[in-house]
Amino acid sequence: MLVNFLIIGAQKAGTSALAKFISQHPEVYMGTRKEVHFFNHPDKFQHLSREQMIELYHSNFPDPGNSTNIGEATPAYMFLPFVPKLIFNYNQNMKIICILRNPIERAWSQYVMEKNRGFEKKKFWRSIFAENIKYLNDRNNFTLVNKNDPVRRFCYLERGLYSQQINRWMNYFPKSNILILKTQDLLADHAATMLRVYGFLNIKNRDFIPKQEIVFKSKENLKIDIFSKMLLQIYFIPERRRLRKMYNINL
């Protein structure tokens, strides 16, 4: 049986919590680790036959038993433009789940994460300008698979442009195969959100609702400065309009 659902992102939007909630259902089996990071590293399997590639990927799912839903959660999948085609070639019937967070909050959360990891040295507003200027050429040629590339590590704005990312997936999968959730709904209406997921995955037992837990466990002690917040509010105005118009999503 092929892996039949993926949580593709967005990064810092609650994918870990969502994966944990889904994995608790008896009809669901998820990989040995939450983020498999397979399709975002095509250099590891493009030289293999399809059978060999499937065997390598499925080694991350050693004991699915009688589970009718097998999945994983790798936030990089949503962001990288070469990934949808690779996943389509693997399973044309894949169910895709993405969860979206307020793009300003998401950008700040990513910045704090990189700062805590020791990779980010600039002030937030400087990093915002650097993304638009220094890395522009690389961002327009997204074929990079190196996770340490600055385009991927410091793309605070780009990762929040959800509509263009979703559109890339829509080029390969029908709307009926893509479920778009909001982080706020997972926080404020846990049970209803999980029931939406169960319906999407055709899970039979919908009486099982995992206990609600903290969605964001990272300690974001730093507070975004007013200037940076203002910049992001202006920057994401067009994107929020696109999301409302195209997908009826308010963030």
Tell me what pLDDT residue 221 has: 58
Q: Which of 123, 191, 199, 200 is nearest to 154 (CA)?
A: 123
Separation of alpha carbons 72 and 91, rounded Å? 14
Nearest Cα neighbor of 115 from 57, 156, 172, 69 is 156
Q: What is the pLDDT along the chain (251 residues), one digit of tens a residue?
A: 999 999 998 999 999 999 999 999 999 999 888 899 999 999 999 999 999 999 999 999 999 999 999 999 999 999 999 999 999 999 999 999 999 999 999 999 999 988 888 888 888 888 888 776 655 555 555 545 555 666 667 789 999 999 999 999 999 999 999 999 999 999 999 999 999 999 999 999 999 888 887 666 555 556 888 999 999 999 999 999 999 999 999 99
With CA atoms as reference, report the closest residue to 95 among 124, 66, 128, 73.
73
Per CATH, which fold does 5-247 belong to?
Answer: Rossmann fold (3.40.50)
**In the chain, where the domains are located:** 5-247
Q: Which of 10, 23, 228 is nearest to 128 (CA)?
A: 228
Find where tokens 């990989």 sit: 31
Distances (CA, A) of 19 to 6, 41, 73, 160: 9, 21, 6, 20
How far is the C-alpha of 245 from the C-alpha of 63, rounded, in Å?
A: 42
Contact of 104 with 159, CB cutoff 8 Å: no
